[in-house]
Chain A
Amino acid sequence: MNITINPFQQLYFSDDTQSENNYVELFSSEVLQTAIHPIFQGGNVVLSGTQGCGKTMILSLLRPETRIAYWKIGKDFPVNKQMRNFVSAGVNLTRSRIADIVQVTLHRGDEIDERELPFYFADFFNYLVVDDLIKSVETIGKHPEIFDSTVVLSNIDNFVATVARQDCWFGYLDEISTLEDLRRRISQRIDFYRRWVNGNLIDPEPPEEIRSTKTNIGEPIARTADCLREAGIISDLVPVLIRVDQIEELHRAFTDRQRKLLLLFRKMLNRAFASRDARVHYRAGTRRYGWTNPDYLGVWGSEARLENRRDYHLIDMDEELFARGETRNSIFERFSIDAFQKRVEYYFKSEAGVLKPHLAKSIFGKHPNAVDRIVQLQESKDNAQIDRALGVDSAADGGSWSEDWRNFLRNLYKQGHEGMLDAVLAAAWGRQTGGARSKRQHREDAPPIEAPWKERKWWRKERLDLAVLQLVTRCQQRFMWWGYDDIRSLSGGNITVFLHICHRIWDGFLKNESSLPEQRRTNLLNGGAIDRNIQAAGILFASNEWFNKLPEEPGGNARKNFVERLGVRLNEDMIKDIRMAYPGGNGISLAQTEFNSEVEEVLDLRVFLREAVGYGVLFESEHSSKVKSSGRRLKYYLNPILCPRFQIPEARTKEPYYWRLDELFDLIRKAQITISKLKKPMVRSNSSLPLFPDLDD
């Protein structure tokens, strides 16, 4: 097996526009569930999900180039035959650099910029999309063998004449008569914008020709679609789908001016959605934080906000497809196994032959049980060491142990690794009282003859991970993860996280292999598996990398500090919970009544946490309180991929810790995070404040 290739080296193929072939080989159709079908049908659709969940890969299916690539390779296009009849065009807000308009100014003050730059944004958007629409139509029309008669180019001159006559251009396309002229004229417009944002114009203000012909958002696109139908180039039954990918790019602001302007651009874009124009249908791809904040849903020129189900249909990939809150999920499991298989097949096609199915499961092996996780611990016969491992003299232990109990636990501990685990659970059981009303701990009686910590299956199951964590920590070892199920669970329903973990594990495997003589190497393509220690190291490495990536997004430093504090706190609380009263203590729960307060500080906290959820740092879900009268609560967990770094088991077995808001504020203060945003306008004062007021006295 070639030990220089890591099939997971390149995580993002959706960004690789040079190679649709890669896309075809690697795209997994497992993700094309019923929930996704609206993408290929009528109406506006917003595809939302955290970074790397696969949105852009799905939207790429709308591109004619992708369909052509499938045909060339001889693979069936994965979209249902009934849903293939569409024309699509679009713009990626990152790649097109359209948001760079925020860098320019009209040199007549901020107010004028805020009033007029959104119109230039709209105009730039319109021309980009129309350009791509015409290109797509041409591409489709030239390949009737692939697209049947979705597009018929025979009447193209008629189309050009009609579109040029439309008043939405305000005369910009007057005297255009051929397709070539039309495309050139549109390119000139786009070229102007590119030169403007790059500061390449001598005159900083746009010329009169541009100023006086700015178009209304969406209207030229809709008219172009109409003209295509009128000229018979597409039939009335063919939907025109307009992709707008990476909308969250409009919220990557680093200054107040940028923030304001980008928000206005966003409102302008929302206006296209709000028009609910039947002539075209929009497909937005956005990360969650680009769509969950209500402030981002305002519509230019009105007080209205975009509404789900009225203006668009929202598909939240994380929730609907991959059910992020749950650790087992059949769609994601199939998706991840398929994505893994395709990658290995693609990169090793010359030597692989026929690979066995479900390679991910055989290469990574089985999920470790609790005993597997402690097998690296040395079995001890020394009583002092055993007592330390069981925490019997821990400062957190409010009670005391009789000699009977100590000997009982020690004897249990000495019975191999199963015994060690039983001893930890027995000690926790001993510290419990058996019920909320009882104050008498089990250890105040003699050790039981039966083993309730074994017989009470659910009690035991809920506490196994916590027992392992406490035991390994007290034995000065780390909680480690390996096996396909662990990797899938840590991925948190995100395919990019899954592939990233695979990348790191495979990298560790290759490095290890390169130091071995050939006869001792492992062939993963032929039944081999990756050693659990290499997997564990790779997972830990990936977890730390993911943590260190947090500052890459706006506001990421604050989130990183918050996660660091919260992660350490949760780990500490779990270690100290020697009674194992909170086996679900790898998360926190907040009362909704408190959380929904209109107090400004709480408002800021809400925004901060929701952004953290939107950026995929935290997972959030509602739940009912264990106290019936208390109402609904919100629970928050760290993204599972962060759990190895903070030594927190990622499985959610029971209720998380119930926190009050002031505990959360306390944590935020200790992390030295400022969560309030500067929403209020700057008050301009004529008198400047002294730099060192104390010294000036």
Chain B
Amino acid sequence: MTLEQLRAKVREWDRQHTGDPIASAHYEQLLNQLQYHAEREWRVYLPAEHPDFNPNYMERLARWIGNLSDESDQKLLLEYALYISFFSHDDFAAMYRTAFDREIMPWVARKIGADLSLGAKQFHERVTYQIHKKTWFCPITDSMDINEFYKVNHLQGVGHRPHFSTLQYLAESAGNKNPGIAENISYYMANPRAESPPPPSLDLIVLLEDIVGSGSQSIDAVRWAAETLGKPVLFIPLIICPRGVEALRAEEVRLGGRLTLRPVIELRRGDLLGPERKGAEGWGIAAELECLANCCSTDVKFNYNPFGYRDTGSSLVTYSNTPDNTLPIVHDVGRFNNWSPLFPRVYRDS
């Protein structure tokens, strides 16, 4: 379906009398809202810059809705489009600032025993020194833009910021176990730079990740960091789903204070679709959407379960990619390339 056709359809839908005496121009209002966001926050979606896709959100929207032939399904998809949470680059910058101000600062202060009875100036100096000189900020995976996190928060230099999922994998899972990796990391933390006089050691670790769904990607990395490096670990997922919260909270308890979990945004079950919603009160159209997602999966043969990886059922998109926890009707092209996604996803592993 072209955008011109979609507009004509929307006008036709609003001309239909649905039983409600009030003619609210509902679909035109939806389309206008979507266009508003498309011209602003949703303007940049990196995977759609590829020649295989259309960088224009509205054109993609028309094709996405045109995947379906039944009008009531088309209307439902249009409504769903407004429920999809798009996190723009600016949103991420805001989350980086929130992570820093709301979670990192208080945690660091507690860890070093700084409190305001020292006086505000001294408190600030101690905490700032600890953060900028003696705390190591690293990502779990490369989807977390650690460089931007440093820049937004004006963090000073620790030269190396490895992905901890890679470190953990190399240390524990890639063929032979390699305890030397943990030793080398510990050594690095004790001697971050070869200078004279030597810089202070790094004695706190803050790990960050952009989106955590079930937690399966992050949990091994944070556990390895907390258990093997001997330093307190603060893990900050910027956005986390309920299942991930449960898994990581359990890990927090098990590690007995060595790990602290502080998400920036925590989704509720009602924000999900599918089995992970577990009957929680969700959106007004949740049940219909779940039915539609199941039907589409039957017809289209997506590369994922109907509700995404491990049926997480999220409706999240970021400006750089769509996580596989999100419903495949949003991001997948289907095994036979027979589905036009709204936010095409770039696969991490082939």
Which chain A residues have a beta carbon within 8 Å of chain B's beta carbons? 376, 472-473, 475-478, 480, 508, 511-512, 515-516, 533-534, 536-537, 540-541, 543-544, 564, 567-568, 571-572, 575, 644-647
Chain B residues, CB < 8 A from A511: 7, 35
Chain A residues, CB < 8 A from B21: 568, 571-572, 575, 646-647
Task: Add 8 more A-B contacts to A376-B15, A477-B17, A540-B25 (CB < 8 A).
Answer: A477-B16, A478-B17, A511-B35, A515-B2, A515-B4, A533-B12, A544-B24, A647-B22
Chain B residues, CB < 8 A from A646: 21-23
CA distance A572 to B19 in the complex (A): 11
Q: Are B4 and A537 in contact (CB under 8 A)?
A: no
- Interface 0/1 of B28-53, CB less than 8 Å to A: 11001001000000000000000000
CA distance A205 to B58 in the complex (A): 59
With contacts A473-B17, A476-B17, A515-B58 known, is A533 near B4, CB below 8 A?
A: no
Q: 7 tightest A-B contacts by CB?
A: A515-B3, A540-B25, A515-B4, A537-B11, A476-B17, A571-B21, A541-B25
Q: Tell me the smallest distance from the CB of B131 to a CB of chain A, in Å.
A: 39
Q: Are B28 and A537 in contact (CB under 8 A)?
A: yes
Q: Are B23 and A533 in contact (CB under 8 A)?
A: no
Q: Are B11 and A478 in contact (CB under 8 A)?
A: no
Most buried by A among B18, B23, B35: B23
Q: Are A512 and B4 in contact (CB under 8 A)?
A: yes
Chain A residues, CB < 8 A from B35: 511
Q: Does B8 contact A (CB under 8 A)?
A: yes
Q: Are B14 and A478 in contact (CB under 8 A)?
A: yes
CA distance A533 to B9 in the complex (A): 11
Chain B residues, CB < 8 A from A543: 23, 25
Most buried by A among B12, B18, B24, B59: B24
Chain A residues, CB < 8 A from B32: 541
Chain A residues, CB < 8 A from B10: 537
Tell me the dominant secondary structure on chain B's binding face: helix
CA distance A246 to B314 in the complex (A): 51
CA distance A534 to B17 in the complex (A): 18
Chain B residues, CB < 8 A from A534: 11
Question: Which residue of chain A has its CB nearest to the CB of B31?
Answer: A511
Chain A residues, CB < 8 A from B2: 515
Q: Are A537 and B25 in contact (CB under 8 A)?
A: yes
Q: Are A480 and B15 in contact (CB under 8 A)?
A: yes
CA distance A317 to B218 in the complex (A): 69
CA distance A646 to B8 in the complex (A): 22
Question: Which residue of chain A has its CB nearest to the CB of B19?
Answer: A476
| Interchain Cβ contacts under 8 Å between A and B, 6 examples | A473-B17, A477-B17, A478-B23, A511-B7, A515-B7, A644-B23
Chain A residues, CB < 8 A from B14: 478, 537, 540
Chain B residues, CB < 8 A from A512: 4, 7
Question: Which residue of chain A has its CB nearest to the CB of B24?
Answer: A544
With contacts A537-B11, A544-B29 known, is A647 near B16, CB below 8 A?
A: no
Q: Tell me the smallest distance from the CB of A313 to a CB of chain B, in Å.
A: 42
Q: Are B16 and A476 in contact (CB under 8 A)?
A: yes
CA distance A568 to B24 in the complex (A): 12
Q: Tell me the smallest distance from the CB of B34 to a CB of chain A, in Å.
A: 11
Q: Are A544 and B58 in contact (CB under 8 A)?
A: no
Tell which of A540, A564, A572 touches B28, judged by Cβ atoms closer than 8 Å: A540
Most buried by B among A376, A515, A543, A572: A515
Question: Which residue of chain B has its CB nearest to the CB of A570?
Answer: B21
Q: Tell me the smallest distance from the CB of A266 to a CB of chain B, in Å.
A: 37
CA distance A543 to B28 in the complex (A): 13
CA distance A349 to B23 in the complex (A): 37
Chain B residues, CB < 8 A from A475: 17
CA distance A676 to B280 in the complex (A): 42
Question: Which residue of chain A has its CB nearest to the CB of B20?
Answer: A568
With contacts A511-B35, A515-B7 known, is A477 near B24, CB below 8 A?
A: no
Chain A residues, CB < 8 A from B4: 512, 515-516
CA distance A516 to B7 in the complex (A): 11
CA distance A477 to B15 in the complex (A): 6
Question: Which residue of chain B has its CB nearest to the CB of A564?
Answer: B22
Most buried by B among A536, A537, A571: A537
Q: Tell me the smallest distance from the CB of A67 to a CB of chain B, in Å.
A: 40
Question: Which residue of chain A has its CB nearest to the CB of B27?
Answer: A537
Q: Are A472 and B17 in contact (CB under 8 A)?
A: yes
Question: Which residue of chain B has its CB nearest to the CB of A544?
Answer: B25
Q: Tell me the smallest distance from the CB of B58 to a CB of chain A, in Å.
A: 7
Q: Are B8 and A533 in contact (CB under 8 A)?
A: yes
Chain A residues, CB < 8 A from B8: 533
CA distance A644 to B23 in the complex (A): 7
CA distance A533 to B17 in the complex (A): 16
Tell which of B11, B16, B29 touches A533, judged by Cβ atoms closer than 8 Å: B11
CA distance A479 to B7 in the complex (A): 19
Chain A residues, CB < 8 A from B11: 533-534, 536-537
Q: Tell me the smallest distance from the CB of B36 to a CB of chain A, in Å.
A: 11
Question: Which residue of chain A has its CB nearest to the CB of B32?
Answer: A541
CA distance A508 to B28 in the complex (A): 9
Q: Tell me the smallest distance from the CB of A494 to a CB of chain B, in Å.
A: 20
Q: Tell me the smallest distance from the CB of B87 to a CB of chain A, in Å.
A: 26
Q: Tell me the smallest distance from the CB of B38 to a CB of chain A, in Å.
A: 11
CA distance A537 to B58 in the complex (A): 19
Q: Are A645 and B28 in contact (CB under 8 A)?
A: no
Q: Tell me the smallest distance from the CB of B22 to a CB of chain A, in Å.
A: 6
CA distance A544 to B10 in the complex (A): 16
Chain B residues, CB < 8 A from A477: 15-17
Most buried by A among B2, B10, B14, B59: B14
Q: Are A541 and B15 in contact (CB under 8 A)?
A: no
CA distance A567 to B4 in the complex (A): 33
